[in-house]
Amino acid sequence: MLKPINAEIDFEYKCEKCGGSNWITKQETISRKLKCYCGHINTVIPIKYVKITYNCFNNQKILNKQSVQKAINILRGVGYLKSTAETMVLKIAQTNSSLTTDKLVKQAIKEEVK
Ligand SMILES: [Zn+2]
């Protein structure tokens, strides 16, 4: 599975004078200045980086999405953070895609305690 090596994303800004919409790239934010088509020069906060979050559920072959989601919910219910619960369950589900919710939870906790 490929991951992008580069991206071109435009950011929309609303001119503080005329309310008009202006689009600039991340690179263009570095100058801190955004000249609107009305002539007003707006000050923008430079963007350092954009974080990409991959959708693991669509990218990986997980046969039992429902069990995975239920297992994540159970772990969250006992106090694990969402991101931690997802990492724990997906790690197990990737190697054993046919596990039931119960087994996913047990295995995930077992791995966490190791
Ligand atoms: Zn303007």
pLDDT per position as a tens digit, 30-77:
999 999 999 999 999 999 988 888 876 654 454 578 888 999 999 999
Place of tokens 């689009």: 23
Confidence tier at 8 by pLDDT (50, 70, 90): confident
Cα of 26 vs centre of ligand 1, distance in Å, is 20
Q: Which residues pair with 42 in a beta bridge?
A: 34
Statement: the pTM of the whole predicted model exceeds 0.85: no
40 Cα: distance to centroid of ligand 1 (angstroms): 5
Highest mean pLDDT among 40-44, 84-88, 91-95, 97-101: 40-44
Among 60, 85, 56, smallest CA distance to 72 is for 85
Ligand 1 center to residue 28 CA distance, Å?
17
| In the chain, % of residues over pLDDT 70 | 93
Gap between the Cα atoms of 58 and 55, Å rounded: 6
Instruction: Give residue 61's pLDDT.
Output: 54
Q: Identify which of 107, 108, 106, 62 has the alpha carbon closest to the alpha carbon of residue 85.
A: 108
- Please count the CA atoms within 13 angstroms of the CA of 74 that sit on its side-chain side: 18
| pLDDT value of residue 59 | 46
CA of 78 to the centre of ligand 1 (A): 51
